[in-house]
Amino acid sequence: MNENKIYVGNLSYNTTEQDLETEFSKYGELQEVKLISDMETGRSKGFAFLTYKTQEAMEAALEKNGEEIGGRALRVNKAEERKPRTDRGNRDNSGYGNRRY
């Protein structure tokens, strides 16, 4: 995972990648802006990942945590590696495990 990647959450569903680029490029040059969308509807899920070219820019952007954009207080923190899902559940048993009734 890129060391200079941040998570931005609690975004308005109307926020675009361009909005994020405009707002967050103030802290330094962005390498990538990825607004996460629902694969079926295409609607924003209300969070994004932004990657900066330098660690200094990434650290400066973290200061935006708690600031309001569009009436919503942003959650901004360093992105963490996604943990592998170990609990797949029992999809065959409707989430009730292996209990038999």
CATH number for 5-73 (one of 3.30.70.330, 1.20.1300.10, 3.40.50.300, 3.30.1950.10): it is 3.30.70.330
What's the pLDDT at 88? Answer: 61
pLDDT at 95 over 60: no
Cα–Cα distance measured from residue 25 to residue 99, given in angstroms and rounded to the nearest whole number: 53
Tens of pLDDT, residue by residue over 12-64, are 999 999 999 999 999 999 999 999 999 999 999 999 999 999 999 999 999 99
Query: Which whole number is the average pLDDT over 74-99?
Result: 73
What's the pLDDT at 86? Answer: 74
Kindly report the pTM of this predicted structure: 0.79
**Residue spans per domain, the chain:** 5-73
- Top pLDDT among 89 and 48 is at 48
What's the pLDDT at 91? Answer: 57
Q: What is the DSSP string of 29-96?
A: -EEEEEEEE-TTT--EEEEEEEEESSHHHHHHHGGGTT-EETTEE-EEEE--PPPPP-----GGGTTS
